[in-house]
Amino acid sequence: MKIPNVTPIKFNQRMANSLEKFSEQGGEKIANYINAAGKFAIAPLMILYNPFTNEPKENKKWAAIKQPVEAVITIAAQIMSLNLLYKGIDKLAEKGKLNFKLVKDAIKGGEIPKAIMEASGGDRAKAIKNLQKTCLDIFKDRVGTVLTIALFVPVLAISNRIFPKIADLLTKDNDD
């Protein structure tokens, strides 16, 4: 019997392409996704099966349920807010209202970072566009970080209102 030729290279390439697309989301979005995934999947397991606590099982269940609820609310709020923020920043950049000193200096004949120049194939005009995009991406990521921090308290307040209702539904005894 012949084993079909399944190459791990195709799988690895698909995985690499997926990771590359994921990484293009920007640092703050990636941090939010990873944090939400951990809260959703790992934190409840760690709470439920923590050998270092003597908490009653009901308390552990209640605390474990809060994590996924908070993760869903947090990631939804952050994604919506960051997308709105990034669209606004892009519009300002398109109108020429966001200017970066590094780009201004490059336009005037100043130095362009070597890595950007090399990635642009030595084409100065293309390098300036790439420099503008890089500066804009860094700016969006930094402003996004500030927004994520600012959303912490409102998201926590919303989560604290919604979670008890969900927890009550999930922890009800089936004896009723």
Q: What digits encode the pLDDT tens for the residues 111-141? A: 999 998 999 898 999 999 999 999 999 899 8
For residue 149, being part of any structural domain is answered with yes
Tell me the mean pLDDT in the region 97-107: 90
For residue 2, being part of any structural domain is answered with no
Give the domain range for residue 61: 27-171
- The span from the CA of 165 to the CA of 89, in Å, is 37
Q: What value does the mean pLDDT of the chain take? A: 83
Number of domains in the chain: 1
For residue 14, being part of any structural domain is answered with no
DSSP result, the chain? -PPP---HHHHHHHHHHHHHHHHTT-HHHHHHHHHHHIIIIIHHHHHHT-TT----HHHHHHHHHHHHHHHHHHHHHHHHHHHHHHHHHHHHHHTT----HHHHHHHTT----HHHHHHTTT-HHHHHHHHHHHHHHHHHHHHHHHHHHHHHHHHHHHHHHHHHHHHHHHH--TT-
pLDDT at 92 > cutoff 90? yes
Q: What predicted TM-score, i.e. pTM, was given to this entire model?
A: 0.66
For residue 129, being part of any structural domain is answered with yes
For residue 5, being part of any structural domain is answered with no
- 102 is written with which tokens? 């590094």
For residue 84, being part of any structural domain is answered with yes
For residue 16, being part of any structural domain is answered with no
Tell me the mean pLDDT in the region 99-117: 90
For residue 131, being part of any structural domain is answered with yes
Question: Which pLDDT value is given to residue 84?
Answer: 93
